[in-house]
Amino acid sequence: MSRTYLKKADKTAESDSASVTETVRTILEEIEKGGDAAAKAYAAKFDRYDGDILVGRAQIEAAAASLPQKVKDDIRFAHDNIRKFAEAQKATLTETEIEIVPGLVAGQRVIPCQAAGCYVPGGRYSHVASAIMTVTTAKVAGCGHITVCSPPRADGVHPAILYTADLCGADSILAMGGVQGVAAMAFGLFGQPKSDILVGPGNQFVAEAKRLLFGRVGIDMLAGPTDSLIVADATADAEIVAADLVGQAEHGYNSPVWLVTDSMELAETVIRIVPDFIDTLPEPNRASAIAAWRDYAEVIVCSDREEVAATADDYAPEHLSVQAADLDWWLARLKCYGSLFLGEETTVAYGDKSAGPNHVLPTSGAARYTGGLSVHKFMKVVTWQRATQAGSRPVALATARISRLEGMEGHARTADIRLRKYFPGENFDLSAAE
């Protein structure tokens, strides 16, 4: 495969994992041992906050009253869209049963997690959209209790986050961020139930805390810096392509953005105008976009659209935008992405904020094997079986013989004892197959 890199990344989106792991492990161990008091101490140290951790109803109502109606209307619009999409996803999960052989019936049940913990970033940006995406989806799934943690400012959690979390169905909100917030949800601090699953984006410390806790609790995914790839052809509008690349680069200094195209003219134009788009951003967004474009961005020119598609699949981006002709071909051909945006009429920012599909998505190439957050993450598909004595007969015979073939005599005898009870006087060949 021939790829021409007009711009090649100097760096990869990796962190100093060893030092982060040790720091996070220490914090988790101290909070698990010290409980509420230890978590509050870390909140005072890192969040610089010593107010009430559990947000009360009066604070939530005051936050709602402080917001302009237009802001609340926009949040409700986004909430309605995310809820509708989550409900449609839930409808694809059904309970079922089948008679496998006469007298043996098996089935599946779909059971939501009892307690979910949703992390909502609130540091550099107040991620209202993350509250909508995580809390709404957990609520639609039917989780029994939903706890939200969000980093507070000096006067508490951002009013828009409080309003949004409450609107979307949070049962409790903790004014706590970082590792200590994740620990509070996982360990069931401040009177909350222990979370069965932890979801939501965060910095490298939040991500590492989720990774270390995985197994004791479920998590949505192991997330790295957000990344975005645009597929474009000669029909694409270079200014829109440039704006979309810059829009995603502002996430952070190590957020990769990639353009893959079969048009040399488009590629060269985008490279030329992106700096101008970045220069008009306010700080600190501008600094982030400069670093991301300089160190992590790539522009790749391919010979044809099949090579473009293959390149996109190799990168398996979190966000994949297609600004090219014949969108149906791209929809059918592309295989590896977290979320797909077809045509210039939609953009990653739509999915990030209000369109409907979830914005908590796989990063760092994980889209090769998984999708993003959905109601399915909050629901367990479990199986059951029931048999009559007659239905048990052929299964017991096969089980006994396979078990002995494997050398598992105890397993075989659980089948033997049922055959003797249900079919006394019959002689069965229960030896392992030769």
Q: Which of 87, 319, 359, 411 is catalytic?
A: 319
CA 120 to chain centre: 13
CA angle 56, 146, 357 (to 5 degrees): 120
Contact 431, 401 (CB under 8 A): yes
CA 222 to chain centre: 8
Residue 348 CB contacts under 8 Å (≥ 6 apart), including other chains? 228, 244, 247, 248, 319, 321, 339, 341
Q: Are strands 115-119 and 172-175 parallel, antiparallel or unpaired?
A: unpaired
Active-site annotation holds for 318: yes
Q: Which of 145, 208, 250, 318 is catalytic?
A: 318
Active-site annotation holds for 319: yes
Place of tokens 């609340």: 72
Residue 396 CB contacts under 8 Å (≥ 6 apart), including other chains? 415, 416, 418, 419
Contact 212, 31 (CB under 8 A): no
- CA 53, CA 41: separation in Å to the nearest integer? 11
Kindly list the catalytic residues: 318-319
